[in-house]
Structure 1
Amino acid sequence: MATEISRASDHGQMAFLVKWGASIIQIMGYAATGFGWSPWNLYLFLVGVLGWLMVGVLWKDRAIMLVHLVALGAMLAGMASQ
């Protein structure tokens, strides 16, 4: 029982850190877009989207996973076409 609680706590801490890290990186991507810092904006968005996809997996939240999988696919398709 104590091991399960410890594992859940570690899981929650990991999700917390990834969630905030990905959010900060995505905000940096918005700033990079605003300043015209291409392609850095895309790289930042890519890391942020992957972080939020990981959060969706950790939380077992299919809506978060779906949105970020679609965003990841669109970004990769756009990057490959350039």
Structure 2
Amino acid sequence: MARTGVSRWRDPRLAFAIKWIASLIQIAGYALTAFDMTPWNLYLFLAGVLGWFAVGVLWNDRAIMLIHLVALGAMIAGLISG
């Protein structure tokens, strides 16, 4: 239930949850990379990058959005070419 005057999408608890879940997913992606588990590592990285992009949108933080859009583009290019 949203607090008075705070939209559900602007609730800081939502961004908090997304950033920690996305971070844990990306850490799992690093672990899979260490064990050469491609493409599963990339799928986790994609989920983590999308999560952090969502946090950038929620925070209206263009720097976070930019870096994760670039990472997303690089990963998609790698998946297509590989």
Fold in common (TM above 0.5)? yes
Structure 2 residue 79 is matched with structure 1 residue 67: no
CA–CA separation in structure 2 for the residues paired with 1:10 and 1:20: 16
Deviations for 1:6-25, whole angstroms, at most 9, x for unmatched residues? 43796211100000000000
Residue aligning to 1:3: 4
CA–CA separation in structure 2 for the residues paired with 1:9 and 1:80: 33
Q: Kindly report the root-mean-square deviation, in angstroms, between the aligned alpha carbons of the 2 structures.
A: 1.7
Could you tell me the percent identity over the aligned residues?
62
CA–CA separation in structure 2 for the residues paired with 1:27 and 1:74: 18
CA–CA separation in structure 2 for the residues paired with 1:9 and 1:60: 12
Q: What TM-score comes out, normalization by structure 1 length?
A: 0.90
CA–CA separation in structure 1 for the residues paired with 2:55 and 2:22: 9
Q: What TM-score comes out, normalization by structure 2 length?
A: 0.90
AA at the equivalent of 2:43: Y
CA–CA separation in structure 1 for the residues paired with 2:19 and 2:11: 12
Alignment of 1:17-36 (within 5 A): 17-36=17-36
Counting matched residue pairs gives 80
For structure 1, the 5+ residue unaligned runs are none
Hey, which of these two has a bigger chunk of helix by percent? 1
CA–CA separation in structure 1 for the residues paired with 2:66 and 2:75: 14
